[in-house]
Amino acid sequence: MNTIYSLKAVLSELLFDLFGVDDIAIDLQETKKEFNGDITLVVFPILKRSRLSPEATAELIGIRLLEKTNIIDTYSVVHGFLNLTYSRGIVIKTFDTIKATPGFGIRKVDKSLPSSMIEYSSPNTNKPLHLGHIRNILLGMSISKILQASGMNTIQVQIINDRGVQICKSMWAWSQFSNGETPESSGMKGDHLVGKYYVLFDKEYKKQVSQSISSGVSEEEAKKSVKCIVQVQEMLLQWESGDSEIVKLWSKMNNWVYSGFDKTYKRLGTDFDKNYYESDTYLLGKIDIEEGIKNNVFFRKKDNSVWIDLSSDGLDEKLVLRKDGSSVYMTQDIGTAIQRFKDFEINSLTYVVGNEQDYHFKVLFLILEKLGYKWANKLRNLSYGMVDLPTGKMKSREGNVVDADDLMDQMELAAMKLSNELGKASFYDEIEHKELNISLGHGALKYFILKVDPKKRMVFNPDESIDFNGNTGPFLQYTHARISSLIRKGRGEQSKWSWDDFSLTEKERDLILFLSKFPEIIDSAALNLNPSIVASYLYDLAKIFNSFYQQHSVLNAETAQIVAFRVDLCKQIVSVMKTGLGLLGINAPDRM
RNA sequence: GGUCCCGUAGCUCAGCUGGAUAGAGCAUCUGCCUUCUAAGCAGACGGUCGCGCGUUCGAAUCGCGCCGGGAUCACCA
C-alpha cells in the first residue's frame, strides 16, 4: 500500500525507459525541512547514464513523472535534488487506508507457522534482579512484542541458572546464620532474602580469607582453603550426588526466589511461555559432543579434554568438555539449543544477552553450524551494552547494585510527587491515581532504557537519569492522554465529513504521511532487533502532533466538518501511539 | 598481544545501506495558560561529528592507520 513503494515502482520504470538505469541507482529520501516537498530523488547517481547536467536530469525526470503518475503533484529542482510533493489524492488515499485498517501497523499472525523463540532475563537464583536484568528483560519483552507485530509467532523463554556454586553460597550462609528465617517470618521478598545470605557469605568469606592470610597462609592458598568455601564445594558435590537434605534446602530456597521473581516480572509486565532450568539441562550436550567427535568437528587431546579448532574462522581453540568429562557452559548451550528445536516448532532462536558474551555466542553459533544444523543461521544474538553506575560497575556480591524492585518503587514515588506538584491528583480517586503513577513511573523507566540503541553501554544515575519532561515516556503518555481527551470530548460531534469539505493544512499532511510509516518502522525494528527505532518514531510522532495541536484547534475548528475530520485524525494517531507504546511495554493512560 | 563494541553540543542521545546549512532532549536564557490537558508549544544559546590519511562529484556515514573508553580471548559461571 505504501506510497513510497508505488512511487519507487513508477520511477524504476521511468528511469529505465529514459536512461536505462537500474533500481540500485534510485535514491529516494525524505526531503529536508528547509526545502519544499515530501520526498527527494537524488539524481547524482543517474548522471553517468543521463549524460546531462544534474539540473537538466532532474527537470526531465520531474516533467515525465507528472505525466506518468498522479502520486506526485509538483516538483522542484535544487541542484541535483528533485524534490517531489505528494498529490492531495495520494495523501487522501493514504489516510483512507490507515483508517480502514483495524490495528494499523500490526501484521496478522498465522498461527500455523513456526515460531521465533526469544530467550531473555536468564537470572541466577542466588540474588534478586537488578538494573542490568531490567535492561535485558525490557529488551526481550519489547522485541518479542515487535516480532509479533511484524507477523511472527513467538515463544518467550528464560533459562534459570538454579544450580552451581553461587546458590550453594547462599545456602551455606543461610544454614549458618539464619536461625530458620523465611520470607514469611522476615516479611522479605524471597529473592531478596536469598540475596541477603549471598552477601553475608561474601562477607564471611572475606573475613576468613584475611584471618587465614594473617596466620601466614598465602593469599592464593587462603582463597581456596578457607573453611566456608571448602564447605560450599562439598555442598555442590552433595547436590550433584542427590543428597536429599541438600536438595531439599536447595529446592526450598529456589522456590523463595521464584516467587520473588514472579512478582518482579509481573510488575515489569512480562511473562514467559516456558522456563528452562539449568538443573535439568546442565547435562545436555555431552551426547552431541560425542557425535561431533565422530564427525571430526571436535577433537580429543591427550589429557582427554575435548576441543574445537576455530582458528580457520579467525577464532581460537575452544574447550567443549573437560578432561574429567564434565561439561562447560558451552556444552550445555549446545545441548539446550538442539533440545529447543526438538521441543518446539521454531524456525529461529534469539538470545538477549549482554555484550560481554558476544564471543561465547559467536562460537556457539559457529559450532552448531559445523555440527550441521540447518537452523544454525537462524540463531541471533540481541547483544546489549552494560548498565553502569556513575560509581562504576555493579557487583551483586558487594551489594552496590540498583535493585529492580527498589528502582520501580523509586520511579512510582517520583511520579506521585510530580503529579502532586502539578496539582493533578485531585482529578482521581486514590486507586486510580496510584495506578496512574505506576504507569508513569514505569513508563519513564522503560522508555529511558529502550530509547537507546541496545548496543550502547549506558550509565545510569539513579538521582538524575530519570526525567518526566522532554524525550521521555511520560511525554509520550501525556500526548496520548491529551489526544484521548480530544476524542472523548469530540464524541458529541456527529457531523459527517468528506474530503470535499476542506483542504488539508500542512501539519495535517505531515501527520498523515508520518502515520503511514508505522508498519515499516515495526518491520525495521524487528529486522534489526532494535526497539529504539519504535521509540524514536513515537517521539517524532508526538512532536508533530503537539506542534499541530498548538497551531490548530481540533474541537473549535472553523467548520463542523473539519472538527469531525480532525477528531478522526486524532483517533488514528492515538491508535498508533497506543500500539507503539504497547510494543515498548508502556501503558498509555487515557488521561493524566 | 588477537578479536568485538563504543567515541556526534556542557550532559543524555538521534542520524551511520554516502547526499543539501549535522538533529532532539536536559541544562541556561526569552516569549506563550479568562479558548481543546503548560508533563506542552515557539524561539535563543551551544558542534574541529576522537585524530590523520584514503576512496568519491560528495564522508558523521565507507576503507586503512592511530588515540581514548569498554568487553572478551578460563578445565569460571
Grouped pLDDT means (10 residues each) for chain A, 592 residues: 76 89 81 89 89 91 92 91 94 95 93 95 92 95 97 96 93 95 96 94 92 88 90 93 94 96 96 94 91 92 91 86 90 94 94 93 94 93 88 69 91 93 82 93 95 90 82 97 94 80 93 95 95 97 96 93 94 97 97 91
Q: How far apart are alpha carbons A325 and A304 in whole angstroms?
A: 8
Q: How far apart are alpha carbons A247 and A263 in whole angstroms?
A: 24
Spatial contact of A171 and A255, defined as CB atoms under 8 Å apart: no
Nearest residue to B58 (CA, C1')?
A44
Helix or strand (DSSP H, E) at A145: helix A131-149
A143: three-class secondary structure by DSSP: helix
A167 CA → B9 C1’, Å: 47
Spatial contact of A495 and A123, defined as CB atoms under 8 Å apart: no
Nearest residue to B21 (CA, C1')?
A34
Q: How many CB atoms lie within 10 A of CB A417?
A: 12
Nucleotide of closest approach to A81 (CA, C1'): B20
Q: How many CB atoms lie within 10 A of CB A219?
A: 10
Q: What is the DSSP letter of A384?
A: E
Spatial contact of A41 and A82, defined as CB atoms under 8 Å apart: yes
Residue A306 main-chain phi, psi, to 5 deg: -115, 135
Nucleotide of closest approach to A35 (CA, C1'): B20
pTM value surpassing 0.90: yes
A189 CA → B66 C1’, Å: 52
Looking at residue A1, its pLDDT comes to 47
A251 CA → B28 C1’, Å: 57
Nucleotide of closest approach to A31 (CA, C1'): B20
Nucleotide of closest approach to A393 (CA, C1'): B70
Nearest residue to B26 (CA, C1')?
A470
Nearest residue to B41 (CA, C1')?
A550
- Residue type for A387, please? V
* Nearest to A21, CA basis, from A32, A34, A8: A8
A32 CA → B54 C1’, Å: 30
CA A169 to centroid of chain Cα atoms: 32
Q: What is the DSSP letter of A203?
A: H
A527 CA → B17 C1’, Å: 14
Nucleotide of closest approach to A452 (CA, C1'): B13
Nucleotide of closest approach to A165 (CA, C1'): B77
The three three-digit cell numbers of residue A196, written as one number: 541477603
The three three-digit cell numbers of residue A90, written as one number: 495520494
What is A146-194 written as a DSSP string? Answer: HHHHTT-EEEEEEEEB--SHHHHHHHHHHHHH-TT--HHHH---HHHHH
**Nucleotides on strand B with an atom closer than 7 A to protein CB?**
2-7, 12-15, 19-21, 23-27, 35-42, 57-58, 69-77
A67 CA → B16 C1’, Å: 36
Residue positions counted in chain A: 592
Looking at residue A396, its pLDDT comes to 67
A182 CA → B27 C1’, Å: 48
Q: How far apart are alpha carbons A192 and A255 in whole angstroms?
A: 12
The three three-digit cell numbers of residue A393, written as one number: 560497575
A329 CA → B77 C1’, Å: 7
Q: Where are the domains of chain A?
A: 3-86, 164-269, 404-583
Spatial contact of A353 and A383, defined as CB atoms under 8 Å apart: yes
A166 CA → B75 C1’, Å: 19
Nucleotide of closest approach to A304 (CA, C1'): B75
Q: How far apart are alpha carbons A33 and A26 in whole angstroms?
A: 21
The three three-digit cell numbers of residue A436, written as one number: 496512574
Q: How far apart are alpha carbons A491 and A487 in whole angstroms?
A: 6
Contacts of A204 (CB under 8 A, 6+ apart): A173, A176, A228
Question: What angle (nearest 5°) sits at the alpha carbon of residue A549, between those of residues A38 and A586?
Answer: 90
Nucleotide of closest approach to A472 (CA, C1'): B25
A42 CA → B20 C1’, Å: 10
Nucleotide of closest approach to A354 (CA, C1'): B71
- Equal fold, A3-86 vs A404-583: no
- The fold adopted by the segment(s) A404-583 is Isoleucyl-tRNA Synthetase; Domain 1 (1.10.730)
Q: How far apart are alpha carbons A94 and A290 in whole angstroms?
A: 59
Q: How far apart are alpha carbons A265 and A375 in whole angstroms?
A: 30
A468 CA → B29 C1’, Å: 21
A386 CA → B71 C1’, Å: 9
A391 CA → B11 C1’, Å: 16
CATH superfamily ID and name for A3-86: Arginyl tRNA synthetase N-terminal domain (3.30.1360.70)
Nucleotide of closest approach to A451 (CA, C1'): B13
A2 CA → B41 C1’, Å: 31
Nucleotide of closest approach to A76 (CA, C1'): B20
Looking at residue A493, its pLDDT comes to 59
Nearest residue to B13 (CA, C1')?
A452
Quote the ipTM score: 0.95
Looking at residue A399, its pLDDT comes to 65
